[in-house]
Amino acid sequence: MTKTTTSKMTSPKIKIAGVLLVLFALGLPMIWPWLKTPMVVATSFGIAALGVSILIRSGQLSFGHAMFSCAAGYAVAFTARAMPELDSAVLILLGTAFGAVMGMVIGLFVVRYRAIFFGMLNLALSMVLFSILGKFYSLTGGTDGIRLARPTFFGVRMERDGFETTLLVVAVVLAVALAWGVQRYMMSIAGQALTAVKTNETRLEYVGLSANRALWIGYVISAALCGLSGAMFALMQGLVTPEMGYWVRSGEIVFISILGGVGHPVGAFLGALVFEFVKLYSAALFTGAWQMVLGFVLIGLVFFVPTGLSGLLFRKEPK
Amino acid sequence: MNQELFLLAMLDGLSYAALLFLVALGMTLVFGVMRILNMAHGSMYAFGGYFAATLGMWAVAAKFSPAWSFVWLLVAALVVGAVMGAVMEIFLLRRIYHKEQILQLLVTFAAFMIFEDLQRLIWGSQPYFVSNIVNYLGVAEVLGITYTRYQLMVLPGVALVVFFGLRHFLKSSSTGRQIVAVAHNREVAMAMGIDARRICLLTFVVGSMLGALGGALASPTTSLVPGIGADMIVLSFAVVATAGLGQIEGTLITAILIGLTRSFAVYLQPESEVLVPYLIMVLVLLFRPQGLFSVAQARRV
């Protein structure tokens, strides 16, 4: 699966899907303004899922990546509080950089592990962060979190509505750029080495490439993407809480990646969009049981559609 | 820290370690035999606790003597473990033994999501707390400290009985030795005529019962709220990973280590309490990735 999607150039079907997704994300909120918030949230989740799907393509599942979103969110909140004049664009960059640096450090430790250990170590580390944020009330505001005042965006001070629109446009533009970038990365030597960690690690080492190093690069990129996602989420909500980094949140990001399918970057955003809407509707339809719905969907995916929605839509045409 | 506080921390730590051990033991047993890390194991703990609390409240309403509580706690663990364990094994796990490890993790995570909402639907989100057995057993004096008999004797007692019972079962009974054989090498065991399907079902049910037993025994001293299952899964993984996956004796020692360190943290540095288990785990894995008690290539369980 990975081979066919990475070695070939993007098929026209996927391009169309990408364009449709962008039109959807930008167009629907113009018709129904209340969709703006869910759209920004979905896009930011999509960016995080894009990061996690990079790791899934190397055969590793992280149940702790929400820690990067959460930490980046707090980094943004602290900085915005200390320097209220900083622009949103700077804050988003800062959050991304924070995620990347944190990923570099934590990556050094976790890339030595595979499969269950990799997944659960990430989970445990994210719980360390979650507990610290919840416990040290005087610094972090405990479980109530920290509010941040709405900063300027591109030097302009905006009302809530204008701010959200700008955020949406920026998020969508970033999403397209990042999807393209990740696709390029997956086709590069570093990216091919990363997928080889899944298919045959021993052979990779024989070629003379370090599997741990390949995984580390992938890990840093995924952490940076989660950081970016967290920074945008924090700006959108105007509030950061430890909940952002709870391990179940990490599980949701994994869920989105699997739902969309990891074969192509478009999958992450497809997954995020469906996830956000399933969540919106099932929250209304099955009050208090939407997580259960997601659970059944996930089981169905693993058993019947392991390639995810994107795999289902863009099945390889028979030659 | 004076002598009294020291002793108090010791006793707290040991009774907590007993609960931790029971839950972690179930997880490590399942992993040892089936190579699946059950992310829904924390749900067994939560359901065991809630069901025990429900039975306890019925018993109070029906004017049973609190002495019967022991029976309720045990029944709750057995029923929850048997029902949830069997359902999960037959409908999910049995179909994914041959799949990749990350897909197995995903399936058990999905089960966790389902159980989490199921628990909320059945028991709501108000806290449950049924502690009449603790009051019934009263307190004991240990070196000048009053401590509840329940935490002093019942919890460590049950943990030790389970520990020695399981060891004896695995070493001496025919079924136990079959479990060890499957853990050692599934294919060879099947070639020897062992019904691996039955063994896996049995192991998973027993593992789930242990998780549920931990929850049931914790219910008289902890207030049950949504989310305890999600917390427990991480905590018991910390124990299991520190000990080395599949190590029964190691799990006991590690549970005591983590239990004691945590309770001393409570008295000395309360903020760090929740961090302690994870810090220990990260430190250990940094230097011994296979865990404290794993011997490379040795059999598990």
What domains are there in chain B, each with its CATH number? 3-287 (1.10.3470)
SS3 B145: strand
Q: Which residue ranges of chain B lie beneath pLDDT 70?
A: 1, 295-301
CA end-to-end span of chain B? 39
Question: Which candidate, B97, B119, B109, B93, places its Cα nearest to that of B39?
Answer: B109
User: Could you say which of A251, A288, A299 has the minimum Cβ distance to residue B92?
Assistant: A299
Q: Chain B: nearest CA to A113, how far in angstroms?
A: 8
A1-5, A292-296, B187-191: the lowest-pLDDT one: A1-5
Other Cβ atoms within 10 Å of B182 Cβ, number: 27
The reported pLDDT for the residue numbered B300 is 47
What is the rounded distance in angstroms from the CA atom of residue B278 to the CA atom of residue B258?
9
Instruction: Find all residues with CB under 8 Å of A120, minimum gap 6, and list them.
Output: A63, B37, B237, B241
Residues, chain B: 301
Pairwise CB contact (< 8 Å): A117 & B237: no
Determine contact, residues A265/A50, Cβ cutoff 8 Å.
yes
Q: Chain B: nearest CA to A100, how far in angstroms?
A: 21
Pick from A285, A302, A303 the residue to mutate for testing the B interface (most B CBs within 10 Å): A302
What is the rounded distance in angstroms from the CA atom of residue A244 to the CA atom of residue A143?
11
SS3 B146: strand
A121 interaction partners in chain B (CB closer than 8 Å): 241, 282, 285
The reported pLDDT for the residue numbered B299 is 46
What is the rounded distance in angstroms from the CA atom of residue A226 to the CA atom of residue A52?
8
Q: What 8-state DSSP symbol labels residue B193?
A: T
What is the rounded distance in angstroms from the CA atom of residue A227 to the CA atom of residue A51?
10
Chain A, nearest residue to B120 by Cα: A288
User: Could you say which of A124, A136, A299 has the minimum Cβ distance to residue B278?
Assistant: A124
User: Could you say which of B99, B107, B113 has the minimum Cβ distance to residue A294?
Assistant: B113
Pick from B106, B231, B284, B287 the residue to mutate for testing the A interface (most A CBs within 10 Å): B106
Reported as a single tens digit per residue, the pLDDT across A250-287 is 988 998 998 888 888 888 888 898 888 888 877 777 77
Other Cβ atoms within 10 Å of B160 Cβ, number: 13
A290 interaction partners in chain B (CB closer than 8 Å): 117
Residue B283 in contact with partner chain A when CB distance is under 8 A: no
The reported pLDDT for the residue numbered B296 is 56
The dotted CATH code for A2-313 is: 1.10.3470
Determine contact, residues B231/B116, Cβ cutoff 8 Å.
no
Task: Please report, rounded to a whole number, the percentage of residues in chain A having pLDDT higher than 90.
Answer: 20
- Alpha helices by DSSP H, listed for chain B, are 3-34, 41-61, 69-91, 101-123, 132-137, 149, 155-172, 174-184, 186-191, 196-218, 228-243, 248-268, 276-287
The reported pLDDT for the residue numbered A4 is 43
The token pair that represents A142 in the structure block: 């405990």
What is the rounded distance in angstroms from the CA atom of residue A246 to the CA atom of residue B204?
27
Q: What 8-state DSSP symbol labels residue B127?
A: -
Residue A111 in contact with partner chain B when CB distance is under 8 A: no
The reported pLDDT for the residue numbered A7 is 41
ipTM rounded to 2 decimals: 0.84
Q: Chain B: nearest CA to A51, how far in angstroms?
A: 17
Q: Which residue has the tokens 């989100």?
A: B125
> What are φ and ψ of residue B285, in 5° steps?
-70, -25
Q: Is the pLDDT of residue A315 over 70?
A: no
The token pair that represents B104 in the structure block: 């197995």
A 180-209 residues with CB below 8 A of B?
Answer: none
Residues, chain A: 319
A and B: number of Cβ contacts within 8 A: 112
Reported as a single tens digit per residue, the pLDDT across B208-266 is 999 999 999 988 888 888 888 888 888 888 888 888 878 888 899 999 999 999 888 88
The token pair that represents A80 in the structure block: 């915005």
Q: Is the pLDDT of residue A145 over 90?
A: no
The token pair that represents B251 in the structure block: 């799990």
Residue B282 in contact with partner chain A when CB distance is under 8 A: yes
Give the mean model confidence (pLDDT) for residues A10-18: 74
What is the rounded distance in angstroms from the CA atom of residue A311 to the CA atom of residue A315?
6
Reported as a single tens digit per residue, the pLDDT across A167-215 is 888 888 998 899 889 988 988 888 888 888 888 888 888 888 888 888 9
Q: Chain B: nearest CA to A256, how far in angstroms?
A: 12
Q: Is the pLDDT of residue A8 over 70?
A: no
A302 interaction partners in chain B (CB closer than 8 Å): 96, 99, 103, 106-107, 110
Determine contact, residues B239/B70, Cβ cutoff 8 Å.
no
Determine contact, residues B204/B88, Cβ cutoff 8 Å.
yes
Reported as a single tens digit per residue, the pLDDT across A228-257 is 999 999 988 888 888 888 888 898 899 899
> What are φ and ψ of residue B186, in 5° steps?
-60, -45
Residue B98 in contact with partner chain A when CB distance is under 8 A: no
What is the rounded distance in angstroms from the CA atom of residue B46 to the CA atom of residue B278?
21
Radius of gyration of chain B (CA): 19
Radius of gyration of chain A (CA): 19
What is the rounded distance in angstroms from the CA atom of residue A279 to the CA atom of residue A273?
10
B107 interaction partners in chain A (CB closer than 8 Å): 298-299, 302
User: Could you say which of B118, B241, B282 has the minimum Cβ distance to residue A292?
Assistant: B118
What is the CB-side half-sphere exposure of residue A117 using CA atoms within 13 A? 18
Residue B187 in contact with partner chain A when CB distance is under 8 A: no
Task: Please report, rounded to a whole number, the percentage of residues in chain A having pLDDT higher than 70.
Answer: 95
Question: Rounded to an integer, what is the distance from CA B59 to the centroid of its chain?
Answer: 25
Residue type, A131: S
Angle at B101 between CA A194 and CA A122, to 5 degrees: 65
CA distances from A304 to A267, A298, B154 (A): 17, 10, 47
What is the rounded distance in angstroms from the CA atom of residue A249 to the CA atom of residue B94?
27
Buried b (16+ CB within 10 A) or exposed e, B275-285: bbbbebbbebb
The reported pLDDT for the residue numbered B25 is 93
Q: Chain A: nearest CA to B279, how far in angstroms?
A: 8
SS3 A132: helix
Angle at B118 between CA A273 and CA B232, to 5 degrees: 90
The reported pLDDT for the residue numbered A45 is 92
Q: Chain A: nearest CA to B28, how far in angstroms?
A: 13
CA distances from A268 to A46, A123, A147, B152, B290 (A): 5, 21, 29, 52, 34
The reported pLDDT for the residue numbered A96 is 94
Determine contact, residues A98/A72, Cβ cutoff 8 Å.
yes
The reported pLDDT for the residue numbered A3 is 43
Determine contact, residues B273/B231, Cβ cutoff 8 Å.
no
Question: If you average pLDDT over every residue of chain A, what do you get?
Answer: 84
